[in-house]
Structure 1
C-alpha cells in the first residue's frame, strides 16, 4: 500500500509533553464494533467496556537508561558521540544508533564517562546495513547493566526530547507501574495509564491480567521512508511468552473470553506467537512482524493503545485492526476534540473489525 495513505496533519498543541495526573485520568476514545459512533470516555471507565472472563495482556518490559553521551578519540582529536542502545546482541554487546554515525569506523572506541569509576568503553565491532552499529563493552551481563545505568539517561521519544529536556519526573512517568524485565529503550506507552485504582476496578469485574515481555527498541520511532509498505524493512525486537501464559490465554479463548492487548507491543508479540488456528505457543526470540491492512489477526480481539505518528508502522497496525477509513475518521475526531497524542498522550480502545 502507498505510505502516504497513512499520513495526517497533527497540530503541535496535540502532542503531550507530560502525562495526565493521575495516570488513569487520561481520556480514552472508544471505537465500538460495527461502525457505531465513537465514544469519548476516560481510561478509568475501561472496565465498563469489558466482561468478566476477558483477559488483558500487558508488556512488562522495563525501560533502561539507554541514551549514552560519549566521545570518540582518534588521531589526537575527540568527537562527541551520542549513542542510543536499542537491542542487546550479546551479554557484552548492544546494537545502537549513533549520532554522528557516518564518521565512526569499525574498531573505534567510544568512551562514556562515569564520575565514580573508570570510563565505560565500547568498541565498534560492526556497522550494519540497517544504519546502526554493534558496540562491544568491556563489561558483560549484570556488570554492564550497572555501568549503563550509571552513565545513561532515559531516551525520551524525539517528539518530546526536541521540545524539552529529560528530568527526574521522567524516571517515574516513563515507566509502567508493573515494569519488571529490564531491556526496553522505549516504554510500552499504552500501559502508562494503569494505576492500582484501575487494577482494583478490573479485578472487581473479574477481568484477568497476564504479562508478556517485548523489549521495545528505538526502531519503533523510525519513520517509514519507503513510498510503499512492501519496501519497508521492519526492525526486530526481542520477546518472550511463557508456556504458562500461553496456556492461560488459550483457556480464556476456549471459554469464550476476549484477548485484550494493552499496547501494540503486546499485540505484535501475541500475533507472532500464535499459530494460524489462533492457538498461542510459548515464544522466545526476535520478531519483526509488520502488520498492515489486509493482515488477518489470529488471537487479539481488542486493543488499547495511544495515538500514533503519521505514516508510522503503528498507525498502519491500528488501521489493519479497525480499517483505514475508520482510523482516519477516529484520528480526525481525536484532533478536533483536543485529545493528546503520542507517548504521554491519551488512549483509545479498539474493537477488531470483522475479518
Structure 2
C-alpha cells in the first residue's frame, strides 16, 4: 500500500510535551468496529471491559540511552542513541555526526565513559563497545539521559521529571530505549479498580528500540524494512493467556509493543506460544490478527508503522476518521498524550 494513505495534518499544539497528572486522568477515545466514537478517560477502563478480559502489559524498563560526547583526540561532537543490545558490553547505536566516525575510533562521553566504534552497519548505525569493568547499565546511569522522542526533545530539554514520567509503573527489566507509552497511563488505583471488576493482567517483555521513531522513507509499505526488537513471553504467561481466551475472555494488548510480540508468538489457531528472541513483524492492512482482540494505544505519527498497525486492526478509513475526531476534540497526541481503546 502507498505510505501516503496513512498521512494526516496535526496542529503542532496537539503534541503533548508533558503527561497529565494523575496519569489515569488522561482522555481515552473508544473506537468500536462501527458506531459513534466515545470520549472517555483512562480511569473509566474498568467500565469498558468485561470480567475475564486480560490486559497484557510490557514490563520493559527504559534506560538512559542518549549519550553526548566527542571523538577522542578531536573536537567533533558525537551523539549516540542506543538501539539494540548485542551482548553485555556491546550496543548498536544510531550516531549523530556519523560521517566523522570511523571504525576503531574511541568516543569519550560524560562521566569518563568511553566506547569504541567497532563496526559500521548498512543503515549507518554503529556497534559500540563500552570500555571498562563496570556494567554498561552503571555507565549509562552516569553518562546518559532519557531518550525522549524527537517531537518532544526538539521542543524542550530533557530534565529530571522525565526520569519518572517516561517510565511505566510496570518497568522491571532494563533494555528499552523508548517507553511502551500506552502503559504510562496506569496507576495503582486504576489497577485495583480493574482487579475488583474481574479484569486480569499479564506481563511480557519487549525491549523497544529507537527504530520505532524512524520515519518510513519508502513510498510503498512493501519496501519498508522493519527494525528488530528482542522480546520474551514466559511459558506460564502463554498458558494463562490461552486459558483466559478459551474461557471467553478477550486479550487486550496495552500498547503496540505488547501487540506485536503477542502476534509474533501466535500460532495459526490463535493460541500463544512461549517466545524468546527477535521480532521484526510489520503489521499493515490485510494482516489477519490471531492473538489479540483489542488494543489500548496512544495516538501515533502520520505515515508511521504504528499508524499502519492500528489501521490494520480497525480499518484505514475507520482509523483516519477516529484521528480526525481526536484532532477536532483536542486530544493530546504521541508519547505523553492521550489514549485510545480499539475494539474491532
TM-score interval (norm. to shorter): over 0.9
Q: Determine the structure 2 residue equivalent to 1:99.
A: 96
Counterparts of 1:11-160 in structure 2 under 5 Å?
A: 11-33=11-33, 35-74=34-73, 77-114=74-111, 119-139=112-132, 143-160=135-152
How has the CA–CA distance of structure 1 residues 295 and 139 changed in structure 2, closer, same or farther, with 3 Å as cutoff? farther
How far apart, CA to CA, are the structure 2 residues paired with 1:231 and 1:150? 39
Residues 115-170 of structure 1: CA deviation (Å, up to 9, x unaligned): xxxx2211111111122110011146x71211111100001100000000011111
How far apart, CA to CA, are the structure 2 residues paired with 1:282 and 1:138? 35
Counterparts of 1:110-259 in structure 2 under 5 Å?
A: 110-114=107-111, 119-139=112-132, 143-259=135-251
Is the 2:76–2:100 contact (alpha carbons within 8 Å) kept by the matching residues of 1?
A: no
Instruction: Tell me the TM-score normalized by structure 1.
Output: 0.95
Residues 292-331 of structure 1: CA deviation (Å, up to 9, x unaligned): 0000001100100000000000000000000000000000
- What stretches of structure 2 of length at least 5 have no aligned partner? none
How many matched pairs?
A: 344
Instruction: Please give the secondary structure, in 2, of the residue aligned with 1:71.
Output: strand
How far apart, CA to CA, are the structure 2 residues paired with 1:41 and 1:293? 27
Shift of 1:78: 2.5
How far apart, CA to CA, are the structure 1 residues paired with 2:110 and 2:308? 40
Is the 1:63–1:182 contact (alpha carbons within 8 Å) kept by the matching residues of 2?
A: yes
Instruction: Please give the secondary structure, in 1, of the residue aligned with 2:307.
Output: helix
Comparing 103-112 and 22-31, the one that deviates more? 103-112
Structure 1 residue ranges, 4+ long, deviating more than 2 angstroms after superposition:
none
Instruction: Please give the secondary structure, in 2, of the residue aligned with 1:226.
Output: coil
Let me know the Cα RMSD of the aligned residues. Answer: 0.9
Asked if 1:7 is matched to 2:7, the reply is yes
Instruction: Please give the secondary structure, in 2, of the residue aligned with 1:102.
Output: helix
Is the 1:92–1:139 contact (alpha carbons within 8 Å) kept by the matching residues of 2?
A: no
